[in-house]
Structure 1
């Protein structure tokens, strides 16, 4: 079974029916494209500021303690 289109009374396509495998591949490709978009956005907004992992854990631990 290939892709099928549902139409309204005027013949305008309104929905798609496709095999689940094809649908899953399409969703995976869309998710991959979203990952690329988010990466590009992060790179564009990167100001170069970095902290060490030890500093990050210290900040997390301080925030955790302040919530108690």
Structure 2
């Protein structure tokens, strides 16, 4: 991530204990994280190799099951 300014809070021993980010940097990191999660969810769903059903067919099947339920 270019342009990321590394700033840290340290304890009395000089050990890094926290990171300081600008709001812009924080929001950019959140967006990247959300995108990565979406990609991982897509990859996991694709790995299941479940049968693909068209939206219209899925809706029709759900409606049919609702009508036949007591």
1:30-58 residue CA offsets vs partner (Å, 9 max, x unmatched): 111111111111111123x1334344223
TM-score norm. by structure 2 comes to 0.69
- The equivalent residue for 2:43 is 40
Say if 1:63 and 1:10 are closer, same or farther in 2 by CA, change over 3 A.
Answer: farther
Unpaired runs of 5+ residues, structure 2, are none
Q: How does 1:6-21 map to 2 (within 5 A)?
A: 6-21=9-24
Whole-angstrom CA distance in 2 between matches of 1:40 and 1:28: 18
1:6-64 residue CA offsets vs partner (Å, 9 max, x unmatched): 111221111111110011001100111111111111111123x1334344223444666
Unpaired runs of 5+ residues, structure 1, are none
Number of aligned residue pairs: give it.
66
Say if 1:6 and 1:59 are closer, same or farther in 2 by CA, change over 3 A.
Answer: same
CA contact (8 A) 1:3 1:19 kept: no
- The equivalent residue for 1:56 is 58
